[in-house]
Amino acid sequence: MDGAMGFPNGTYIFLWGGIVKNAGGMTRAMLKRAELMISEDIDIRILLCARGMEQLDGVEHYNENGFPLIRENNFIAMETYFGEICSDPLKTHQCEFDVFLEESLHIEEDGNIIYFKDGIPFLKEYKTDIIRKRLITVLNREEEKLMDLVYWDNRLSRIIEYRDHTKSKITRFFSKTGFCFLRIIEFKAENGYNVERIILFNEREGNIKEFKTLNELSQFFFSSYVNTVYGNDIFVFHDPFLDFDPGFARMFDPQRHIYRIGINHGCGFGDERQWYSKLNPRIRDMIEQKVSPDIEAFICLTCEAVNDFTKRLGRRNIIYQIPNMVCIPERVSSFEKRDKNRVVFIGRFSKQKQISHLLKAWKIVERAMPGVYLYLYGRGELEQQIKVQIKEDKLMAVVVKPFSNSVSDEYQKASLSIVCSDFEGFSLSLLESLANGCPVVTYDFKYGPRDVIIDGKNGFICEKNNIEALADAIIKYLQMDDFSRKQMSDNARVSVTAYQTGNYRENWVGMLNEMVRRYPGNLRLNVCEINVISYNVNVADKKTTYNCQIKLDGFVPQIAYGQERIYIKLYTSDMHDYSEVPVNSKADYEGKLFEVSFCINSPQKVSLCILWNNSFYEKIISEKYD
């Protein structure tokens, strides 16, 4: 890929959920990509579909902590967008609570403000750690919560009304003119609230739109914004592409080039699942239906992920590998200045990170290596559970610390870091630790460790979910002599030079320019039907001859004629693997029709595949196996 090239001209739009303080590696990876493009004067817009203007406080946080080019004007919140396009700027609406707050008697109590009505507490304003936010609760005579008023920049942003003792709630969103443009109705379920109905009101046009799910609302937001952006070339980045419904599902404009780029931050394949039928059920439909002619590029972060997805999705021209980048400090603390007995974990306190495994392993380490300490830096839903486990297991050498905005400093204080996730797209913790000269002990999960860890050189890889092996690897490192540990520390920094900013930029520039070049040859297919017309079983020879037909519906450019590849997959009995065999075919390009014939040993599991530039379709023809 030519590093002298620049980014293709156009508007670059990122589809995202929400920006929260101290988010994980996925958010930081997205912001690094955005900053790189902003530094080259690319027009970057990041669409946020999460509820609550509070996420803009996260933008300010990142601007002050390592992302100086990220500004609030790069972000478009769903509430801001719908509030502007749905409300009439010539009309204003006043909320009764605004008048009440200005005129009512109030007192301050423990940093909170209580407002009175007829001598009875009516509103209670809570102190928040977000300067731009005000949270006010409406109370009944028994001082039970009836509704929450959320103000942003001293303007009413939303009202959350609780009904039937919080068994249901209605959230209403307000524009700058005070118009209620969105209403979300939810009912309490076992784990939070389930959406029953979403109504979007348009004051300008005098109509409404209804949605059944928040995903539908997000899709409408993303596509509505993109479809109205001025310009001929629009590059839409959707990450994490396989973790929720594709936001660019409704984006289409035959008069312009909309390049849709899906980025896979998760693995998509679980352990012990078959290639054909046992993909992760949560995203199986996404893989089968959306990583198809619907996108122009599908980005994996590691070589291993590329191999896995290629095996399942065909060797299409849309699959690329672009790993995360890491900034390697010019100078790091010398090995002699590091605390040789300090081990760190830095990341979210979530189920995916499997910190419970680390604590169980540390119980073994404590017994074998008195005087070593484990520092856990992070925050998340499992924080209390982690503290309980530490107390119950009587771990005396484990310290829980808040998430650090200076991860480089923490890695440079430590001798070793631990990563024991269940899965990752490509763990930034691995790269950041190594970049700061801190070797890593890690589980062998998908994806990342095998791309960067050279066992015994810059860290150790141990069997996934093997707690004893994890403990043994930690002890093995801590028992090494100073010379060997210093050598691993030096190796760590050298091992990640390929992930520096220059290479990262070159990868993205090269991929985007290649995608643009290939775009004229891309197919736009609506349907692909693969049918068996006839088959003949020769019992004596144990062979079966098939005559099949592949019929396509959609747009196929002439430039693509002759570039198709039709073949069969012969699966193993467990369907964990297969071999590819080319077959004879006769093409009718104008009619988008292919006549296919082939002969196989019978009985055998076989599928018929057509791979054509950006498109891939597969259908099981026979599931028999001897």
Residue 505: phi and psi, rounded to 5, are -60, -45
pLDDT of residue 287: 58
- The C-alpha atoms of residue 170 and residue 190 are separated, in whole angstroms, by 18
Please report how the helices 78-86 and 214-227 are oriented relative to each other, as an axis angle in degrees rounded to 10: 70
pTM tops 0.85, yes or no? yes
DSSP-assigned beta bridge partners for residue 588: 593
The verdict on domain 11-85+217-321 having CATH code 3.90.380.10 is no
- The C-alpha atoms of residue 447 and residue 454 are separated, in whole angstroms, by 15
Strand order in the sheet with 578-582: 578-582, 565-571, 606-612, 615-622
Mean pLDDT computed over 24-46: 92
Per-residue model confidence as pLDDT tens digits over 403-440: 888 889 999 999 999 999 998 888 889 999 999 999 99
- The C-alpha atoms of residue 301 and residue 389 are separated, in whole angstroms, by 34
Residue 500 token pair? 């520096």
Q: In the chain, which residues fall in CATH 3.40.50.2000?
A: 11-85+217-321, 335-496
Counted residue by residue, the chain has a size of 626
pLDDT of residue 47: 95
Q: In the chain, which residues fall in CATH 2.60.40.2440?
A: 523-622
First to last CA, the chain: 47
pLDDT grade, residue 626 (50/70/90)?
very low
Mean pLDDT computed over 277-284: 46
Residue 558 token pair? 């002439």
Mean pLDDT computed over 211-223: 92
Per-residue model confidence as pLDDT tens digits over 457-485: 999 999 999 999 999 999 999 999 999 99
> What CATH number does the domain located at 523-622 have?
2.60.40.2440
CATH tag for 335-496 (out of 3.40.50.261, 3.30.1330.10, 3.40.50.2000, 3.40.50.150): 3.40.50.2000
Residue 428: phi and psi, rounded to 5, are -65, -30
The average confidence (pLDDT) of the chain is 88
- The C-alpha atoms of residue 508 and residue 499 are separated, in whole angstroms, by 12
Q: What is the DSSP letter of 583?
A: -
Cα-Cα-Cα-Cα dihedral sign, residues 397, 400, 401, 406: positive
Residue 329 token pair? 């400090």
Look at residue 134 and tell me whether its pLDDT is greater than 80. Answer: yes
